[in-house]
Amino acid sequence: MGSTGHGKFGDYSEQQNYNVSNGGTTSGMYTSTNAGLGGNKCPTELPTIKLEDVQTSQYYIEHQELPEIGDDVYLSDKIHNGRLVVVHTDSNLIIGNLPTSYNFMIKCLEHNYTGNVISSGMQPIPFVVVDLHV
């Protein structure tokens, strides 16, 4: 899962991966972390994240539907099956995995990211898009 391909989170660079996945700049959008990685910075906002593996998530399997736009979510501070996951606040069920380009967020879990579902749908496959922030 890491950048070295050894099944670990590895050395994902927040600057590299965040800018690539969102196509924008993140200047002025950081908070410091003391996660043991030399005072690295974590983004305060993670907009428009299309979650992965929604159709196999706990939420979809249990409810056979997707969370609604506006539903509250949070980034779990626990790794689930080797992945960072987003959880539906009311049900405490996983709704999907963060894309691996966000694996740098492993060092930021102490910031308790929360947010909302901003989009969801069934075509072409079940999908959920969320905004997260500290």
Amino acid in position 49: I
pLDDT of residue 18: 47
Chain segment 109-131, per-residue pLDDT in tens: 999 999 999 999 999 999 999 99
Residue 67 lies in a domain: yes
52, pLDDT greater than 60? yes
Residue 80 lies in a domain: yes
pLDDT of residue 41: 85
Residue 58 lies in a domain: yes
Residues 67 and 73 sit within 8 Å (Cβ to Cβ)? yes
Average pLDDT, the chain: 82
Residue 4 lies in a domain: no
Residue 5 lies in a domain: no
Residue 19 lies in a domain: yes
* Buried/exposed code over 83-104 (b: 16+ C-beta within 10 A; e: otherwise): bbbbbbeeeebbbbbbbbebbb
Residue 9 lies in a domain: no
**Residue 76 and residue 69: Cα distance in Å, rounded?**
19
Q: What is the radius of gyration, based on Cα positions, of the chain?
A: 14
For 60, 66, 90, 125, 133, the CA distances from 74, given in Å and listed in that order, are 16, 16, 10, 22, 9
Distant-in-sequence, close-in-space partners of 65: CB < 8 Å, separation ≥ 6: none
Report the number of distinct structural domains present in the chain: 1
Residue 6 lies in a domain: no
**Residue 108 and residue 121: Cα distance in Å, rounded?**
29
Range of the domain at 120: 14-133
pTM: 0.76
pLDDT band at 10 (very low <50, low <70, confident <90, very high): low
Place of tokens 């196509």: 23
Q: What is the CATH number of the domain that holds 115?
A: 3.30.70
